[in-house]
Amino acid sequence: MAVINIITGATSFNPVYNPLVYMFDSNNKNETGFRYVVDIYSANTSTKIYEGRVAPRPTDGYGYIDVSKIVADYITWDVDLSSSTNIHADDSYFNYSVKIGEEYMVEWPFIDTFFVSGGRVLVSGTTTNSFLTNDQVIITQDAQLIPSLEGLQTVYSAISSTSFVVDVGFLSTSANTGTVKYANGSKTIYRDLLTYSSQTAYNSAFKASEWISYNSTDYLLSGSSTIKKMLTNIPNNFYCTPTQDLFVNVAFTTSSDATQIRFENDGGDIFYKTGGTINTINQYAVGPNNIGSLTLVSGTTTLVKSDTKYYDFWLHNSGGNQMCEKVRVYIDRKCGIEDYEILFLDRKGSFTSFSFPLRAETSQKGSRTTYNQQIGGLVSGKWNYSNSDAGEITTNISVSETIKLRTGFITPEMALYFSELIFSPVTYVKIGGEYFSCIIEGDSYSPQSPKLKKLNKQEVTIKLAQQNPSNI
């Protein structure tokens, strides 16, 4: 028995919403009833989250399974709307292991038959079998030396793992050889012949064109680098108002030595805040409104001053080295008519936001449930009713509120990123400094090509996720 890995290019750290395929081969794939057996476990535990069977491919007998949909059930997202430091984004990833085995109909070889008490026959071999008392089996003798032993039999007693007794009269013969198999076609399972250990899937959905060139080392921070990436699609030179929040996810190797997230403004002032305990994925608050308390490294105090144009943020390790690319945030201080902001889950698991300073339009829509009832009654021998009697009764009213929001002018790169807000599954709108869960309405978006290099405006209609009840 042997199951071997077939290289698919997958790494041990993968986005869960893209194909997550494992492929394997076996030297037993031509056995009767052959199937690969796939068991998935929560990493380093005996908790099995999935068991399945995979048929070999007709062309080459390889087995393969895409586990993305299975593992995705154990991954959600993380955000602490009030955080100004960092959190362990433990809901944004899942550690697991995949174990591949096989099953098929086994014909167990026996080497001889012997007399046992009661005149019965002991069928004996040198390899292990799994037959139990009362199992029905098919016995095939190579030379049919005991005619009554041939064919369907019931195991009278399982003597050991290499022999069993059947209730058939013994006949003295020379060495009697043959094979035994289950009568009902039951298969023997051989588990855990190949193990993919220390696998991690995380909350990301790469575009199809990006995923084909995905390399996990681009996102796993360790040591010194100026090109590795954080888990976000936020464009460099992103414009934010002073009240906006940004939460970015960052992935680390187990040996990572990151200790700080650093900030530097256009005046050259450098600050940091501690990176906290390093986990597989951490989330850092880095927006103008939620950077929190910073420690000055050099320059003058306060990262965002009244004349600050922009600041950069990045990860910094204990050796004094930059660990990833820098992201630049420009401060947008233009006066707005409104102060709405939408915080949204982007395609790589971070939460960032857009501001909507232009005129907003609010509308309310109600829905009601009614029924008709009989009105009036018998008065002095005549059916009568009053004009104020209600024939149609309202039993339930709920009111939903929608708001059309408009951005100011944004860059072409931001307009492309805006599509991730439009199609984000998790969104919050900030009204008066407080976040409310909301739903983006509309199923289409037409971003401008960055090649045009023109600023443009965007708009979006949202519906508050909580409906207002009526006093019914």
Q: How far apart are alpha carbons 20 and 68 in whole angstroms?
A: 5
Rounded Cα distance between 460 and 445, Å, is: 10
pLDDT along the chain (472 residues), means of 10: 84 96 96 95 94 96 96 97 93 97 94 94 94 96 94 96 96 93 92 95 95 94 94 96 97 82 97 90 96 95 95 92 96 92 97 96 84 86 85 82 92 93 96 94 76 80 82 68
Fold (CATH) for 340-370+396-469: Pnp Oxidase; Chain A (2.30.110)
d(CA 201, CA 128): 39
What's the DSSP call for residue 435?
Answer: E
Residues of the chain with CATH 2.30.110: 340-370+396-469
Topology of domain 108-186 in CATH is Elongation Factor Tu (Ef-tu); domain 3 (2.40.30)
Other CB atoms within 10 Å distance of the CB of residue 298: 9
Predicted local distance difference test score (pLDDT) of residue 1: 60
Between CA 156 and CA 147 the distance in angstroms is 18
The class level of CATH for 3-85+93-103+190-202 reads mainly beta
Angle, alpha carbons 113-187-55 (nearest 5°): 145
- Confidence at residue 294, expressed as pLDDT on a 0 to 100 scale: 96
Delimit the CATH 2.40.30.20 region(s) of the chain. 108-186
Strand-pair partners of 190: 102
Pick the CATH number of 215-331 from 1.10.3470, 2.30.30, 2.60.40, 2.40.128: 2.60.40
DSSP H/E element including 419: helix 412-422
What is the pLDDT at residue 245? 97
The token duo for 451 is: 């090649």
Per-residue pLDDT at 195: 95
Amino acid 366: pLDDT: 79
Taking the C-alpha atoms of residue 80 and residue 125, their distance in angstroms, rounded to an integer, is: 64
Structure tokens at 84: 């100004």
Please measure the distance between the N-terminal and C-terminal CA atoms of the chain and give it in whole angstroms.
Answer: 70
Instruction: Look up residue 27 and give its amino acid.
Output: N
Residue with token string 């909507």: 356
Q: Give me the pLDDT at residue 319, please.
A: 83
CA dist 33 and 270 (Å) reads 66
pLDDT score recorded for residue 394: 82
Backbone angles phi, psi at 147, to 5 degrees: -55, -40
E strand or H helix at 102: strand 93-104
36, containing H or E segment? strand 35-42
Distance CA 406, CA 456 (A): 11
This prediction has a pTM of 0.86
- Provide the 3-class DSSP secondary structure of residue 71: helix
Rounded CA separation 204/147 (Å): 65
Torsion angles phi and psi, residue 335, rounded to 5: -70, 140
